[in-house]
Copies of this chain bind each other. A is one copy, B any other.
């Protein structure tokens, strides 16, 4: 087991990564701030598979446990769902010592974190991520959110969990597409921050796709550490540091939006976005050709898409203007200067973006 300490202005907490941690959950909850009543937000499939183990890990340590199931899809990220959870939560909260457990992937983490942040002006919550993407990325750093018709994550808060418990054994049951989607974020971390991790992936990515838990444990621990380092320096994305985690996301989000969040998973869209950003970096004279090829090769090895399928590039351009992070209509791209090094650039010309989009057409 690896323990990473993340210290932010608002809270200091631990991220524990390793194999077979779930059954020991009780002993990680020793801190008195957690309360005594666990309110677990998850979905039906996860409850069926792990509910009994999770419940008894809590109960044997003296906690009560109540499950609330939300649908396993992006539609769960709504104010309506949040509101119905909170009503149930308030009814359960008799002893006023309640805490929330987010048991699931990114959607569950986002909505459960949001609920924890607004119920009684904030109660403790724990992330137990069950997808590779959530373990390496979304469970860490306190971004919570629900969607509006006008855009994804338009409502949300920065609210840090009290603990992140990433048990790679929970990933054993993931299908290949889910693993690949998570791998896109792993490749992102390697590309922007860690040339050593990039080389590790070049050699070992097949092991991850074969659900080799040793290899998965290694990358989960590695990425969690990288993410913690960034969040620690710029919790609320105000200093331009946390921004680098958006490598591949400007175009990636636009692809997701242009396809109405249907055709591509988040990771698949990010993979395509990283290809465009790498090409942009090359064409702007920042990145060598060989590095661009290594990135493309790794994305192919991960089984992630490298070409867009039936999407009009103009619809991607249009969508990229609606990105909620644009300020005063200026776009913003994270570009690479080498494998493992990056820079944030604003106001990239439309012409350059169109040129680099051809890379994935």
A154 with B79, Cβ < 8 A, contacts A121-B145, A327-B97, A329-B95 known? no
Instruction: Identify which of B91, B118, B120 contacts A118 (C-beta below 8 A).
Output: B118
Contacts of A97 in B (CB 8 A): 327-328
Given A91-B150, A148-B86: A328 and B121 within 8 A (CB)?
no
A297 within 8 A of B: no
Question: In the assembled complex, how far is the CB of residue A237 from the closest CB belonging to chain B, in whole angstroms?
Answer: 8
Q: How far apart are the CA atoms of A156 and B114 in the complex, in Å?
A: 11
A151 is an interface residue with CB less than 8 A from chain B: yes
Chain B residue with minimal CB distance to A114?
A: B118
**Proximity bits, A138-156, B CB within 8 Å = 1, else 0:** 0000011100111101111
A246 within 8 A of B: no
Cα distance A153–B327 in the bound complex, in angstroms: 33
Within 8 A of B (CB), among A49-96: 79, 83, 86-87, 90-91, 95-96
State whether A120 touches B324 (Cβ < 8 A): yes
B120 contacts A154, C-beta separation under 8 Å: yes
B9 in contact with A156 (CB, 8 Å): no
- Cα A119 to Cα B149 in complex, Å, equals 13
B157 near A90: Cβ-Cβ < 8 Å = no
A155 touching B329 by the CB < 8 A rule? no
CA distance A157 to B10 in the complex (A): 13
Chain B residue nearest to A95 (CB atoms) is B328
Which chain B residue shows the least CB distance to A119? B155
The answer to whether B148 and A96 have CB atoms under 8 Å apart is no
Q: Is the CB of B155 within 8 A of A96?
A: no
Q: Is A261 an interface residue (CB 8 A)?
A: no
A319 → chain B, closest Cβ, in Å? 15
Contacts A9-B10, A10-B9, A151-B90: A158 and B96 contacting too (C-beta < 8 A)? no
A79 to B10, CA, bound (A): 25
Contact across chains for A120 and B156 when beta carbons are under 8 A apart: yes
Minimum CB–CB distance from A235 to chain B (whole Å) comes to 10
Q: A10-B9, A87-B150, A90-B148 are in contact. Are A157 and B96 (CB under 8 A)?
A: no
Give chain B residues whose Cβ lies under 8 Å from the Cβ of A153: 121
What 0/1 readout, one digit per residue, does chain A (104-122) give for beta carbons within 8 Å of chain B?
Answer: 0000000000100111111
Residues of B within 8 A of A96 (CB): 324, 326-329
**Contact (Cβ within 8 A) A157 B154:** no
- List residues of A (22-53) whose CB comes within 8 Å of B's CBs: none
B117→A157 contact, CB < 8 A: yes
20 CB < 8 A contacts A-B: A9-B9, A9-B10, A86-B154, A87-B149, A87-B150, A95-B328, A96-B327, A96-B329, A97-B327, A97-B328, A117-B157, A118-B155, A119-B155, A120-B155, A120-B156, A121-B145, A121-B153, A121-B157, A122-B157, A157-B157
Interface residues of A, Cβ cutoff 8 Å to B: 9-10, 79, 83, 86-87, 90-91, 95-97, 114, 117-122, 143-145, 148-151, 153-158, 236, 324, 326-329
Given A97-B327, A118-B157, A121-B144: 4 more A-B contacts, CB < 8 Å = A86-B154, A96-B327, A120-B154, A121-B153
